[in-house]
Structure 1
Amino acid sequence: MDFPFLYETFLTLIAALPLTLQLAATAIAFGAILALGLALCRISGILPLDWFARLYIFIFRGSPLLVQIFLIYYGLGQFREVRHSMFWFILRDPYWCAVIALMLNTAAYAAEIIRGGLLSVPHGQVEAARSCGMSPFMVFRRITLPLAVRQALPAYSNEMISMVKATSLASIITIMEVTGVAAKLISETFRAIEVFVVAGFIYLAINFVLTRLVAFVEYRLSPHMRQPAPLSAATVAGEIR
């Protein structure tokens, strides 16, 4: 292995890391908001909203993400109405096209995860909150949503990891994130193995940090599941006295 080349490659690819993180964070944040709306539609009991959410989830989970990126970036520009609309300044930008595609895709998967978390909230706690005089919105904000987030977080962390890796597809539409820079470097040096090893290491490091952050949040949200600290002999002796 050519370690000087690996080091130079690492410095080149790490410069594209902020764009990768920004792309993933933006898509996950907007996707979570959309996913919550879809999950509420699924459990609303209103048939048109339920079927709309079902159709949305079926389409975006059943079609490849790469096809969705191509349709948004290349397909929408073919319509004259889109090119002359107020949204064209967004849809002509590769970055925002990638964000939209990633957002719409992750929302379809996250909606079912959030729906499962919402349905796992014990009905007795909701009834107890209502009996205390809480409004439906307050019950959702203070009881249902926090409990649902706690239940859904382990599964949702897998979706966040998948979305970080999915940002590599944005290089197909000329976005120079980590994979895009790696592909450009390979075309210049013809050393694919070394470049992709470094790129894979960077994605691995990102996801390691992400899993640790999610584990910390899950720990903070689950105080009732922690093991009580063992009492020392001096403390026990003092309580007996």
Structure 2
Amino acid sequence: MNLGLMFDAMVVLPSGVGLTLTLTVLSLTAGFLLSVPLAFIRAFGRPGLSLAVLSYTYVIRGTPMLVQLFLLYYGLAQIEAVRASIFWVILRDPFWCALLTFSLNSAAHTTEILCRGLQSVPRGVTEAATSLGLKRFQIARLVTFPIAFRISLPAYGNEVVGMIKGSSLASTVTLLEITGMARQMVSTTFAPYEIFIVAGAIYLSLTSIAVKAIQLLERRLSTDGNRVHRHKARWRPPLPDPEITTPPA
């Protein structure tokens, strides 16, 4: 094992971390924003609309993300109408093709995750909110979604970790993120072993940080209410002892 080469890789490969994080954060953000309305449609929408969302998530989740990226980047370039459209300015750029692919893939997975969370919210909670006079949108925003998000957070953490690792596929369309930088170094040094060990260590560090962040968020959401309750109880004056009286003889 060439330790000097590994040291060189530790200097060079971190330059691709910025692009990796950019793709990951933007795709997770776009995917989450798209998945929230889709999850409500999937869980509570009309059968036709729910089936349409299910078809989308079934196709995206059932096919490899690499195939989707190749179809978007290489496949659409073969269509003359696409090259003549205004969308070609974006679709010919590998960054935007990768970002679009990752966002659609993340949206499909997150939709099913949130859908299971929404369906797990107890019916009595929404009925209680309805009895208080809240409208459907208020119930969804203030009651149903916060509970569903807390339930879905562990599964969504797996999606975050998967997207960090899946961003390595961007190297197949010439983007120089961590894996792209590693492949570029391998092409000049012909030493894949040492270089990809360093690349794997960088990915492991990023995923470890993401896991810790999700765990902290889970702990915060699960104990926040208890902390507030304990804080109020600490400053609440004690109840007076009831006086025991005996009836006169």
- TM-score where L is the length of structure 1: 0.90
Matches of 1:45 and 1:149, distance apart in 2 = 19
Show the counterpart of 2:245. Answer: none
Mark the CA change 1:224 to 1:121 in structure 2 (over 3 Å): closer, same or farther. Answer: farther
Matched, 1:217 2:217: yes
The runs of 4+ residues in structure 1 deviating greater than 4 Å are 224-227
Does residue 177 of structure 2 align to residue 188 of structure 1?
A: no
Q: Is 1:176 the counterpart of 2:184 in the alignment?
A: no
Q: Does 2:67 match 1:49?
A: no
Aligned length: 228
Contact kept in structure 1, 2:5 and 2:195, CA below 8 Å: no
> Separation in 1 of the partners of 2:192 and 2:40?
46
Runs of 5+ in structure 1 lacking a partner? 228-241
Within the alignment, does 1:31 sit opposite 2:28 as a pair? no
Task: Kindly provide the amino acid, as one letter, of the partner of residue 15 in structure 1.
Answer: S
2:124 maps to 1:99: no
Percent identical among aligned pairs is: 42
Any residues of structure 2 matched to 1:67-106 within 5 Å, and which?
67-106=67-106
The equivalent of 1:165 in structure 2 is: 165
Deviates more, 1:3-12 or 1:201-210: 3-12
Change in CA separation of 1:220 and 1:65 when aligned onto 2, cut-off 3 Å: same
TM-score by length of 2: 0.87
- Bigger drift between 186-195 and 45-54 goes to 45-54
RMSD: 1.7
How far has the Cα of 1:226 moved from its partner?
6.8
Match of 1:238 in 2: none
Q: CA deviation at 1:37?
A: 2.5
In structure 2, what is the equivalent of residue 231 of structure 1? none
Q: Structure 2 regions of 5+ residues with no counterpart?
A: 228-249
Higher mean C-alpha displacement, 108-117 vs 77-86: 77-86
Q: Which has the larger radius of gyration?
A: 2
* Paired position in structure 1 for 2:246: none
CA shift for structure 1 position 4: 2.9
Kindly tell me: are residues 139 and 225 of structure 1, through their superposed partners in 2, closer, same or farther at Cα, counting changes over 3 Å? closer
Structure 1 residue 7 and structure 2 residue 7: aligned?
yes
